[in-house]
Amino acid sequence: MNVRFFAHMTAILSPRYDMAKDKAAEILRQYEIEEPIIPITRLAEKHGLTVKVLQFPETLRDVAGFFDPEQKIIFVNRADPPNRQTFTIAHELGHFILGHKPNEYGVLPRYPRPKEDNPIEKEANCFAASLLVPLDMLKKIMKQYSLNKTDADQELLAGIFGVSTDVIKFRLKWI
């Protein structure tokens, strides 16, 4: 596995959250996806990308995944739980859909950085969260099942959407 670590030089100064959310919504409309769980691997494949879930070598144990733009392959760490793998695929798809250049981002770490400052990474995270947990679906399900923002309900929502509670918490901030 040939992993290149790119210099973190970004072409933008602040994240374009609206663009990331709009692109995610556009994909959901295009493929008429109206219910969770979002078929993220299939969506990546529809965009001409291959997803490979592999056992990463020890030197990459802290890497959740990365995108090879030349081969159009998203590599995902098999050691991560399925909901984390789902987010990794969506995040890396976000780099592709949002037109990020390889020199603007690197690999996705398995463990969140305390403060992510790279606007490109913030955009990819926003895209992934918006794609995997669309607000209209989230609101509909919360209303349908009379759910709140409690820890127990967040666990339930994470299961419904096939994501981590961290992703649910992030999306609940927008409600």
Is it the case that residue 116 has pLDDT exceeding 90?
no
pLDDT at residue 117 in the model: 76
pLDDT at residue 109 in the model: 65
Do 154 and 163 form a contact (C-beta atoms < 8 A)?
A: no
Do 132 and 170 form a contact (C-beta atoms < 8 A)?
A: no
Cα–Cα dist 78/98, whole Å: 25
Do 128 and 97 form a contact (C-beta atoms < 8 A)?
A: no
Q: What is the mean pLDDT of residues 131-147?
A: 97
Give domain limits for the chain: 17-133
Q: What is the pLDDT of residues 7-49, one digit of tens each?
A: 444 457 788 999 999 999 999 999 999 999 999 999 999 999 9
Q: In CATH terms, is domain 17-133 a member of 1.10.3720.10?
A: no
Q: What is the pLDDT of residues 51-89, one digit of tens each?
A: 999 999 998 888 999 999 999 999 999 999 999 999 999
* Distances 110 to 33, 55, 115, 172 between C-alpha atoms, Å: 28, 13, 14, 22
Q: Which two tokens stand for residue 86?
A: 């789902």
Q: What is the mean pLDDT of residues 112-135?
A: 87
